[in-house]
Amino acid sequence: MNSSLRNGSLWLAWRQQRVLVGVGAAVLAVAAAIAAYYRSGMLDALRSGLFDHCDPGPVSCTRSDTGVPLLLDIEPLQYLGALNIALPVVIGVFWGAPLLGRDRELGTHRMVLTQGVSRGQWFASRFALAAASAVTLSGLLAGVFAWWWRPAADRSYGLFWYETTALSGSGPRVVAAALFGLATGTLLGLLARRVLAAMGLTLLVTGAMTLVLEWTHKTRLLVPPHTYTSAGSVPKPPMGEKWSAGNYGLITASGRRDDVMNCPFPSGAQLKECMDRHGYVARFYEANPAGDYWTVQWIDTAALGGLALLLTAVTVLLLRRRI
**Backbone dihedral angles phi then psi of residue 244, each to the nearest 5 degrees:** -65, 140
* 121 touches 11 (CB < 8 A): no
* 183 touches 88 (CB < 8 A): no
* 142 touches 172 (CB < 8 A): yes
Residues 6+ apart with CB under 8 A from 105: 193, 194, 195
Q: Which alpha helices (DSSP H) does 92-233 contain, by range?
A: 97-106, 108-113, 119-149, 164-167, 172-191, 195-219
Least Cα distance to 206 among 184, 174, 173 occurs for 184
Q: How many CA atoms lie within 13 A of 127 on its CB side?
A: 27
Residues 6+ apart with CB under 8 A from 246: 286
* 188 touches 205 (CB < 8 A): yes
92/97 Cα distance (integer angstroms): 6
What does the pLDDT profile of the chain (323 residues) look like in tens digits? 445 445 567 777 888 899 999 999 999 999 999 999 999 999 999 999 888 888 777 777 888 777 788 999 999 999 999 999 999 999 999 999 999 988 887 666 555 555 656 777 878 889 999 999 999 999 999 999 999 999 999 998 999 999 999 999 999 999 999 999 999 999 999 999 899 999 999 999 999 999 999 999 999 999 999 999 999 988 888 888 999 999 999 999 999 999 999 999 888 899 999 999 999 999 999 999 999 999 999 999 999 999 999 999 999 999 877 66
Q: Is 230 helix (H, G, I), strand (E, B) or coil?
A: strand
Q: What is the DSSP letter of 153?
A: B
Which pTM value belongs to this model?
Answer: 0.91
Residue-level pLDDT at 109: 58
| Torsion angle defined by CA atoms of residues 312, 316, 322 and 323, in that order, rounded to the nearest 10 degrees | 120
